[in-house]
Structure 1
Amino acid sequence: MSYIVAISGSPSSESRSSILTNYLKREAEQNGIQIKEISVLDFEPDVLIRGIYDHPSILQVTQELKGASGVIIVSPVYKAAYSGALKTLLDLLPQDVLKDKPVFPLMVGGSGAHLLAIDYSLKPLLAALSAQTILKGVYVLDKFVDKSDLRNPIKDEEVQSKVTVQFKQFIEIVSNLRSSAELK
C-alpha cells in the first residue's frame, strides 16, 4: 500500500507547524491517501543529540521514508532557517533517503522577513537528501494559523489557496509517480 510521510520539525506538540501537519494529514486521508506522521518529538533527545544514526528509531524512519510515495516537511522558522531538531533528525538519515520522492515543504514563521527561508535553507537541505521534486512550498505567517480551530486552522484566504494548490499539485505528482511505478 502506498503512503506519504509527513514530518513535523517542531519541538512543540502544540505548535502551528504540528497543527498544519495534522491538517494536511486530514486533507490527504479525505482523498484516500494514507499518511504516516513523524515528529522530531518521536525520538529520544539523546539519539538526536549524540547522532546515533543506527538507533532502531532512526532505522525505522529511514525505512518508512524509503517506502513512501512522497514526503511533506513542516517546520517552524528559527533564526531564518528550519528548526535545529529537524536538521538533527535529517542529518542522521542516509544521504539518498529522499531519492525519487516528491517533497512538499511548508514553513511557519513570525514575520515576512523570513519569507525566503524555504528557498535558502530548507530546499538546499532537501536537495542534499536527493529529493526528486521539491515543490515551491508555502511560507505561512504565525498570525494566519488559528491554534483553536484544528479543522480549518488557516485563517487567510490567499494562504489557504496557496496551501490547497500546492497540496493538490503534490498529490497529483505522487499519484502519477505511483501509477508509473505500477506500470513497470
Structure 2
Amino acid sequence: MALVAAVIGGPVPGPTAHVVEHVAERLELKGHTTVRISPAEMPPAALLGADSSDPQIRSALEILEQADGVVVATPIFQSAYSGLLKTFLDLLPPGALAGKTALPIANGGSRGHLLTVDYTLRPVLTAAGCSQVGNGAFVLDTDIVLHSCGVGLKGESEVRVAAVCREFAHSLTETERRQRLEID
C-alpha cells in the first residue's frame, strides 16, 4: 500500500500531534504506512536556515520524496496555519510535493476557523505542486479525547475526519492502481 508522510505543523506534544496520531491510525487500518515528520523536533537553526545538510531535515526531505501522499496538519493561529509549518514548507525544494495526494487537517479552539482549511492550507498545498488536494477537516481542540489506548475524536470532528480519511485512503489506492496499470 501507500507511504504517507504526516507533517505535524504544531508543537509536540499537543493537539495537532494528537490529531495526526488519530489520522495515522485510521490510514494504517486501511493498510497504508504512515511516517510522522515533526518540524518542532528539528534543530531550530537548521530549520530557519533551510539547512538541507542537517540530518533531520535531510531525512524529512527523503521521506517526502518517497511518499505517495502527505497529511499536512496545523493548529490555527490568527486564522492561518502555524509559522512552524510555514517555515518547514518554505525549506522544501521546488517540486517536493509534486504528484502527491494531500490531506489538509487543521485544529483550533473555535468553529470560526472551519473554513481555514479551504482558505489557507488548500492553496499552499496546491501551489506546492500536490496533484490532488483532498477535502480537509477542521478539528475542535475540545473534540480531541486522549485514551489510554490512543486518541479519539468526538462530535462533528470525528464525522469529518472519518470521511476525509476514507476519501484520502481511496485516492491513494486509486493512484497506486493507475500507476500499476501504466507500468503493465
Within the candidate set 147, 161, 164, 1:163 is matched to 161
**Within 5 A, what are the aligned runs for 1:77-92?**
77-92=76-91
Could you tell me how far 1:50 is from its partner in structure 2? 2.3
Which whole-Å CA distance do the structure 2 matches of 1:149 and 1:114 have between them? 29
**What is the aligned partner in structure 2 of residue 180 from structure 1?**
178
**What is the aligned partner in structure 2 of residue 111 from structure 1?**
110
SS in 2 for 1:126: helix
**What is the aligned partner in structure 1 of residue 136 from structure 2?**
137
Change (3 A) 1:155 1:2: closer
Gapped runs of 5+ residues in structure 1?
Answer: none
| TM-superposition CA deviations, 1:50-78 (whole Å, max 9, x none) | 23244333232222112111111111101
| TM-superposition CA deviations, 1:107-130 (whole Å, max 9, x none) | 001112222211221112111210
Could you tell me how far 1:149 is from its partner in structure 2? 6.1
Deviates more, 1:145-154 or 1:77-86: 145-154
Deviates more, 1:143-152 or 1:133-142: 143-152
**What is the aligned partner in structure 2 of residue 97 from structure 1?**
96
Deviates more, 1:25-34 or 1:70-79: 25-34
Could you tell me how far 1:31 is from its partner in structure 2? 2.1
Pairwise CA RMSD: 1.7
Deviates more, 1:102-111 or 1:145-154: 145-154
Change (3 A) 1:36 1:52: same
**What is the aligned partner in structure 2 of residue 121 from structure 1?**
120
TM-score by length of structure 1 reads 0.91
**Residue 72 of structure 1 contacts residue 103 of structure 1 at CA under 8 Å; is this kept in 2?**
yes
**Within 5 A, what are the aligned runs for 1:31-50?**
31-50=30-49
Gapped runs of 5+ residues in structure 2?
Answer: none
Change (3 A) 1:148 1:78: farther
**Residue 58 of structure 1 contacts residue 92 of structure 1 at CA under 8 Å; is this kept in 2?**
no
Aligned length: 182
Select the structure that is richer in strand: 2
